[in-house]
């Protein structure tokens, strides 16, 4: 098989509220995007990395020759939604001879090598594909909202069978593209690649991810990544 990584990096990061998109924020002189590219390259089964960005010809993108990776890194133009950006990347991967696509968020810079290896093992071994996920730890409550924006507990939700999906997510590339096309890249239910596979009737495997593989969504996530997870050991 031939696994190519697709990194959607064309978002605006509205919840992060920073003046540049979060994937271009730097920690120790390197952008989060750069960390994410290097993280997926840590497994030699990944033969190429395709990064979907909003302006592939921009001078602000990390220079691929400066990346400490042996794989080829290519920028392609992303789309209006995450799914559309993933589509563009997977289409390019197929042209380049990919059998499998490994999709990883640009905003998840702390992916451990062992978790990457686990999800590739499972994702290429099964036609259902595989995703990293972690079991939910906290008690879960369904809220009933009140008039004054306050929330009351309507009921507790059993946590036993619930997992939080992460990336990477690894699938047969052609099947994944079919799934996204069928479901529609603007469908609000298409929040990850597994949803598109499920739409076709597949049941992707859950592979144990890592708590540190968190996605930078809000400013406090960035603080955690910058001050703890990517901080140099002193
Ligand atoms: N993404 C993308 N193309 C889009 C939207 C998102 O490639 N049109 C990427 C983001 O750059 C990010 C990943 O998908 O790496 C995960 O999405 P998310 O965390 O939602 O990022 P944003 O959409 O940028 O953030 P927000 O939803 O807060 O605006
Ligand atoms: Mg988003």
Ligand 1 centroid vs 139 CA: distance in angstroms? 27
Q: Which two tokens stand for residue 27?
A: 């920690």
Query: Taking Cα atoms as reference points, which of 181, 197, 213 lies closest to residue 42?
Result: 213
pLDDT of 183 > 70? The answer is yes
Query: What was the pLDDT predicted at 150?
Result: 85
- What percent of the chain shows pLDDT beyond 70? 99
State the DSSP code for 44: T
Question: Which structural domains are found in the chain, ordered by start?
Answer: 3-132+164-229 (3.90.550.10)
Query: Ligand 1: does its nearest atom lie under 6 Å from the Cβ of 14?
Result: yes
In the structure, what pLDDT confidence band is assigned to residue 66 with cuts at 50, 70 and 90? confident
Query: What was the pLDDT predicted at 234?
Result: 61
Contact 104, 167 (CB under 8 A): yes
Ligand 1 centroid vs 11 CA: distance in angstroms? 4
Query: Ligand 1: does its nearest atom lie under 6 Å from the Cβ of 89?
Result: no
ipTM reported for the complex, 2 dp: 0.99
Query: Ligand 1: does its nearest atom lie under 6 Å from the Cβ of 212?
Result: no
Query: Ligand 1: does its nearest atom lie under 6 Å from the Cβ of 107?
Result: yes
Nearest CA to ligand 1 atom 10: 11
Residue labelled with tokens 């990390």 = 62
- What percent of the chain shows pLDDT beyond 90? 89
Ligand 2 centroid vs 13 CA: distance in angstroms? 7
Query: Ligand 1: does its nearest atom lie under 6 Å from the Cβ of 31?
Result: no
Ligand 1 centroid vs 48 CA: distance in angstroms? 21
What integer is the mean pLDDT of 181-195? 98
In the structure, what pLDDT confidence band is assigned to residue 229 with cuts at 50, 70 and 90? very high
Query: Taking Cα atoms as reference points, which of 121, 127, 120 lies closest to residue 197?
Result: 127
Query: What was the pLDDT predicted at 219?
Result: 98
pLDDT of 159 > 70? The answer is yes
Largest CA distance in the chain: 56
Q: What is the pLDDT of residues 1-25, one digit of tens each?
A: 999 999 999 999 999 999 999 999 9
What integer is the mean pLDDT of 213-223? 98
Ligand nearest to the CA of 22: 1
Query: What was the pLDDT predicted at 68?
Result: 86
Query: What was the pLDDT predicted at 69?
Result: 94
pLDDT of 81 > 90? The answer is yes
In the structure, what pLDDT confidence band is assigned to residue 146 with cuts at 50, 70 and 90? confident
Query: Taking Cα atoms as reference points, which of 164, 98, 169 lies closest to residue 129?
Result: 169
In the structure, what pLDDT confidence band is assigned to residue 148 with cuts at 50, 70 and 90? confident
CB atoms near residue 105 (< 10 Å): 24
């Amino acid at each position: 098989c031939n696994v190519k990584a697709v990194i959607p990096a064309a978002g605006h990061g509205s919840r992060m509220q920073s003046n540049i998109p979060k994937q271009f924020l730097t920690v120790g002189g390197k952008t989060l995007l750069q960390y994410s590219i290097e993280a997926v390259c840590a497994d030699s089964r990944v033969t190429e990395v395709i990064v979907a960005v909003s302006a592939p010809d921009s001078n602000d993108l990390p220079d691929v020759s400066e990346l400490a990776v042996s794989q080829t890194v290519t920028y392609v133009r992303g789309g209006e939604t995450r799914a559309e950006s993933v589509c563009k990347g997977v289409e390019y991967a197929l042209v380049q001879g990919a059998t499998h696509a490994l999709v990883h968020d640009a905003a998840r810079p702390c992916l451990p090598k062992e978790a990457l290896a686990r999800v590739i093992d499972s994702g290429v071994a099964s036609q259902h594909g595989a995703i990293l996920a972690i079991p939910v730890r906290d008690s879960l409550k369904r809220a009933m909202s009140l008039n004054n924006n306050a929330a009351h507990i309507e009921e507790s939700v059993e946590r036993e069978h619930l997992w939080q999906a992460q990336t990477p997510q690894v699938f047969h590339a052609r099947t994944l593209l079919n799934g996204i096309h069928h479901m529609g890249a603007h469908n609000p239910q298409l929040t990850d690649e597994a949803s598109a596979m499920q739409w076709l009737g597949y049941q992707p495997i859950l592979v144990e991810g890592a708590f540190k593989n968190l996605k930078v969504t809000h400013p406090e996530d960035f603080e955690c990544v910058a001050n703890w997870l990517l901080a140099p050991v002193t």
